[in-house]
Amino acid sequence: MKRVNRYNLILILMAGLFAASTAQAQNDNLANTGSFYSGIGFGLSVDSFSPYSMGMGLSGVANYSGFSTNIANPAHWGLSGFSQATLSAGLNNIYASDFNSSTRNAIFGIDQFQITFPIIRNKLAISASITPMARGDFRRVSSGLYNPLPGLASSIRYDFTTTGSGGVNRFETGFGFALTNQISVGYAFSANLLSMNETVVPEFTDNQFRAVNFDRKKEGYSFGHRFGLYAFTQNLFGSEDQLSFGATLSLPVEIEAEQKVTAFRAVNNQRILVDFNENSPNRNGTIKLPLEFNTGLTYNLNRFINVGAELLLQQWSDALYSFDTNQQNLYKDRARAGFGVQYHPYRSDQMGGFFSRMKYSTGVSYDTGSLEINGENIETIYINAGIGLMSVQSTSSIDLSIHYGIRGTESLNLVKENIWGFKLSLNLAEWMFVRQRFQ
């Protein structure tokens, strides 16, 4: 009974945090938009972080834990000894500025859901998950002058306000298999769904021009493949140290998409939805997600301290966005490097107080970005910190991480973004996720 009450209290606290952050966004009248740069192409790339390593700012490709399942590397799944599930959500506040103006935005949402079931304990397991691959959430204003008739003394000013949301979501299932006690491999098959919605609101300074709001919607899907490897060795320099290596390879995903441009118009005194590009050659297009290679090393100095380093490479120069070749030409190859440290006082043989049951993490990362605009790389630097609350009676845990980052620059008419936020993950091993007594 005590266990149930304790976890109910934890869930209430989590709900309170979510409600408080949402209420704060509403009180400050923040627009529900994310990064300015996510309005280019099909959105900014979204990296997947395992809950165990997100406080380090690392995906966790080489950082194995028995306390939570790992989204970053399918090879980890084969090491699972019992069923687990993870639900993660996060909030980002973005302060964006250029030479002329500034704005403050906030976005809150679910980051990932994953569930893992062992078929043969510590040997073979299957996993299913839902994660975003690319996300666009933005509000953009385009202005200019238009002269409808030659010889007019003055031109008409127009403003087009575009609000967009959506991106590419990955529905993935796969398996992990332990080849030996120290080497495991994994494979994952995914369905990648594209869904992007844009609402365009035009305005003209001349009332003779009637402004009609219209919507652009892009949809499509394709399948993807991901491969993983994980290996470790022990007792390199002492009796408790361990060196782990992990790597994943995600093959390119090419989505044949359809774009609809629609608006409500009055036809024969009836308001109907009109499809403007029903027979247009630009109705169909191709969106291609790039080849990705992610690798890392984790070194456990002892059972209390471990350090990790990772390198993520994505071939964005090969990505496609045929609906707008000008935006497609802004893509370039991306590299992301990170380093982090973790401290695990709960692994002590002696029982301590409340704070000794926590895991502490910190790390820093540098991202060259996948965009080059006006000759400038849209780079991002992140500082991360996190804590994890470990249960003393089960393998369940809660991970909370905070981050602060700087993206872009104000030079060359670009936008600089200051980003801060948090991620919260609930890692379950209760009720239907109890440890198996018999194999």
For residue 439, give every residue at least 6 positions away whose Cβ sits within 8 Å of its Cβ, in sequence order, or none: 120, 121
pTM of structure = 0.85
Burial profile 347-361: b = 16 or more Cβ within 10 angstroms, e = fewer: eeeeeeeeeebbbeb
Average pLDDT, the chain: 85
Reduced 3-state DSSP string for the chain: CHHHHHHHHHHHHHHHHHHHHHHHHHHCCCECCCCHHHHCCCCEECCCCCCCCHHHCCCCCCCCCCCCCCCCCHHHHHHCCCCEEEEEEEEEEEEEECCCCEEEEEEEEEEEEEEEEEEECCCEEEEEEEEEEEEEEEEEEEEEEECCCCCCCCCEEEEEEEEEEEEEEEEEEEEEEECCCCEEEEEEEEEEEEEEEEEEEEEECCCCCCCCCEEEEEEEEEEEEEEEEEEEEECCCCCCCEEEEEEEEECCEEEEEEEEEEEEEEECCEEEEEECCCCCCCCEEEEEECCEEEEEEEEECCCCEEEEEEEEEECHHHCEECCCHHHHCCECCEEEEEEEEEECHHHCCCCCCHHHHEEEEEEEEEECCCEEECCEECCEEEEEEEEEEECCCCCCEEEEEEEEEEEECCHHHCCEEEEEEEEEEEEECCHHHCCCCCC
Range of the domain at 160: 2-250+290-433
Domain presence at residue 313: yes
- Among 285, 291, 390, residue whose Cα is nearest residue 328: 285
Reduced 3-state DSSP string for 193-217: EEEEEEEEEEEECCCCCCCCCEEEE
pLDDT digits (tens, 9 = 90+) for 24-38: 333 332 233 578 899
Output the pLDDT for position 150.
64
Domain presence at residue 101: yes
pLDDT digits (tens, 9 = 90+) for 393-409: 667 889 999 999 999 98
Higher pLDDT pick, 55 / 392: 55
Output the pLDDT for position 57.
95
Cα–Cα distance between 186 and 183 in angstroms, integer?
A: 11
Domain presence at residue 160: yes
Cα–Cα distance between 314 and 299 in angstroms, integer?
A: 25
Domain presence at residue 71: yes
Strand partners, 347: none
CATH number of the domain encompassing residue 327? 2.40.160
Cα–Cα distance between 297 and 56 in angstroms, integer?
A: 13
Domain presence at residue 40: yes
pLDDT digits (tens, 9 = 90+) for 63-92: 998 878 999 999 999 998 888 999 999 999
Cα–Cα distance between 30 and 21 in angstroms, integer?
A: 12
**HSE-CB of 20 using CA atoms within 13 angstroms:** 7
pLDDT digits (tens, 9 = 90+) for 306-337: 999 999 999 999 999 999 999 999 999 999 99
Domain presence at residue 284: no
Percent of the chain past pLDDT 90, that is, above it, reads: 58
Domain presence at residue 280: no
Taking the CA atoms of residue 416, residue 422, residue 427 and residue 428 in that order, the dihedral angle to the nearest 10 degrees is -130
Number of domains in the chain: 1
Mean pLDDT comparison of 141-145, 171-175, 299-303, highest-scoring range: 171-175
Cα–Cα distance between 69 and 52 in angstroms, integer?
A: 8
Percent of the chain past pLDDT 70, that is, above it, reads: 87
Domain presence at residue 438: no
Cα end-to-end distance, the chain, whole Å: 28
Output the pLDDT for position 152.
59
